[in-house]
Amino acid sequence: MADTLALVTGASDGIGYELARRAVEDGHRLVICSDSDAIEEAADKLRRLGGEVETVQADLSGRRGVETLWQTVEHRKIDLFFANVGQALGHAFHEQKWRDVKRLIDLNVLQTTSMLHRVGRKMRAQGGGRILVTGSLGGFVPGPYDAVYNATKSYLDSLCYALQDEWKENDVVLTCLMPGPVETEIFDRAGMQDAPIEDAKKEDPTDVARKGYEALMKGERGAIPSLPSKVITMLAGIAPQGLMAEVHRWGARPRD
User: What distance in Å separates the CA atoms of residue 123 and residue 69, rounded to the nearest whole number?
Assistant: 17
User: What distance in Å separates the CA atoms of residue 100 and residue 105, rounded to the nearest whole number?
Assistant: 9
Angstrom CA distances, 161 to 157, 174, 175, 176, 243, stand at 7, 8, 8, 8, 25
Please give the sequence-ordered ranges of beta strands (E in DSSP) within the chain, or none if there are none. Answer: 5-9, 29-34, 53-57, 80-83, 129-134, 172-177, 222-223
Whether CATH 3.40.50.720 fits 5-252: yes
Summarize pLDDT for 19-31 with one digit per residue, the tens: 999 999 999 999 9
Give the pLDDT mean for 206-226: 93
pTM of the model: 0.87
Give the pLDDT mean for 132-153: 90
Averaged confidence pLDDT in the chain = 87
- Single-letter amino acid, residue 214: E
Summarize pLDDT for 12-62 with one digit per residue, the tens: 999 999 999 999 999 999 999 999 999 999 999 999 999 999 999 999 999
pLDDT category of residue 199 using cuts at 50, 70 and 90: very low
**Three-class secondary structure of residue 45 per DSSP:** helix
Total count of residues recorded for the chain: 256
Domain spans of the chain, in order of start: 5-252
